[in-house]
Amino acid sequence: MLNVTKDQIGTTTLVKLSGVIDEEADLNKLIGNLTSEATIDCMGIERINSVGCKAWIRFFQKLQVEKKRFKFVACSVVFMEQTNMISNFACGGTIESFYAPFICVSCGAEGSQLLVSEDIGTKGYQAPLISCLKCGKPMELDADPEDYFYFLNSRP
Ligand SMILES: [Zn+2]
């Protein structure tokens, strides 16, 4: 099930999504109309199935046609997997920040880290250095950086 909260901050609508995007998630009903600018917080998206993915693209393509401005922030790893698999998943929206999976090479601890798209772009698509919370040793991106940061190539 998909949970949606909406807050109006000045001219921007902040939409927070959490849960599962599947055939049960009626985006038109749950998100509804948006003002000219929207920030979509995708931190809580846990799963997107193929039906949900199609509905997602339909919903955001409509916003794109209506010339609404929207951006995605704090995108979950699940969101990023879709983005890197389906080129028009963001429908012209900017992905401002996103989570990336990290793994510690020394102790095997796993975690995810919030990254800012612009920072990664300026650092030549390299994952930043992150210290393990458990042992303090460096952690590595638990994905191929070329794949995981692929979406940055199509940034407007
Ligand atoms: Zn460690």
What whole-number distance in Å separates Cα of residue 113 and Cα of residue 98?
8
pLDDT of residue 155: 55
Distance from the Cα of residue 144 to its chain's centroid: 17
Judge contact between 135 and 148, C-beta under 8 A.
no
Residue 154: per-residue pLDDT: 64
Joined together, the tokens standing for residue 7 give 């807050």
What pTM, to 2 d.p., does this model score? 0.92
Ligand 1 ion local residues (Cβ < 5 A): 104, 106-107, 109, 132, 134-135, 137
Centre of ligand 1 to C-alpha 148, Å, is 22
Per-residue pLDDT of the chain (156 residues; tens, 9 = 90+): 999 999 999 999 999 999 999 999 999 999 988 888 999 999 999 999 999 999 999 999 999 999 999 999 999 999 999 999 998 999 999 999 999 999 999 999 999 999 999 999 887 888 999 999 999 999 999 999 989 998 887 655
Under 8 Å between Cβ of 30 and 52: no
Residue 128 CA, ligand 1 centroid: distance in Å? 16
- Residue 154 CA to ligand 1 center (angstroms) comes to 33
